[in-house]
Amino acid sequence: MGQQQLLLLVLSIVIVGLAVVVGIQAFTENQQKSEIDRYVDQGVAMSGDIVAFYLKPTAQGGAGRNADALGDLAISDLGYREDRTDTWNGFERSGVVENGVVRYVGASDTHPFLHIHRFPQSPGDPRVEVHVFGPSPNCVVTRSDIYEVSPTWSDGKADNEAPDAPAGCSW
């Protein structure tokens, strides 16, 4: 083989190698975005369960439009089985684990929230929070981050900071 042919062969191998690396990186990023979208969809659906619980009369096992009842909200109140309970950033929460994903529900002093991520969680895993500031669809706030990679949530707040409530939202 001539020198020119060897140079072309090496150049081709380098180009193919770079293309493979870029393709793998693009696939990984797309996979994380897809996972975040799936968690947001689950969280928004579950936020509807929170509103339904709030509106349901107490005689039927709901909160009866009593916002104080949301402070003790558990995943079982929303019709899911309860697999896990723990404390995260000072908040008591209960959750259900299905297909390697945990969906927690908890409550701050002002509103209930959902926390969704892989279980068990590892650095680099996407996670999503859904905060429900009132019974209107306009009062649901979602945010995401990459566990132990992103220094803050997608709204710029830290783990122990709730997102800002939309104007006019309250229970």
Q: Is residue 155 part of a domain?
A: no
Q: Is residue 95 part of a domain?
A: yes
Q: pLDDT confidence of 15, banded at 50, 70, 90?
A: very high
Q: Is residue 52 part of a domain?
A: yes
Q: What is the torsional sign of CA 60, 64, 69, 75?
A: positive
pLDDT, tens digit (0-9, with 9 covering 90-100), for 45-89: 999 999 999 999 999 999 999 999 998 899 999 999 998 888 887
What whole-number percentage of the chain has pLDDT above 70? Answer: 99
- Distance between CA atoms of 104 and 94, rounded to whole angstroms? 5
Q: Is residue 29 part of a domain?
A: yes
135's CB contacts (< 8 A; 6+ apart) are: 51, 54, 55, 171
75's CB contacts (< 8 A; 6+ apart) are: 81, 82, 94, 95, 96, 103, 104, 105
Domain that holds residue 127: 3-146
Q: What is the torsional sign of CA 26, 27, 32, 33?
A: positive
Q: pLDDT confidence of 1, banded at 50, 70, 90?
A: low
pLDDT, tens digit (0-9, with 9 covering 90-100), for 95-136: 999 989 999 999 888 899 999 999 999 999 999 999 999 999
Where b means 16+ CB within 10 Å and e means fewer, 24-48 reads eeeeeeeebeebbeebbebbbebbe
Q: Is residue 134 part of a domain?
A: yes
Q: Is residue 159 part of a domain?
A: no
Number of domains in the chain: 1
pTM: 0.84
- Distance between CA atoms of 5 and 105, rounded to whole angstroms? 63
Q: Is residue 158 part of a domain?
A: no
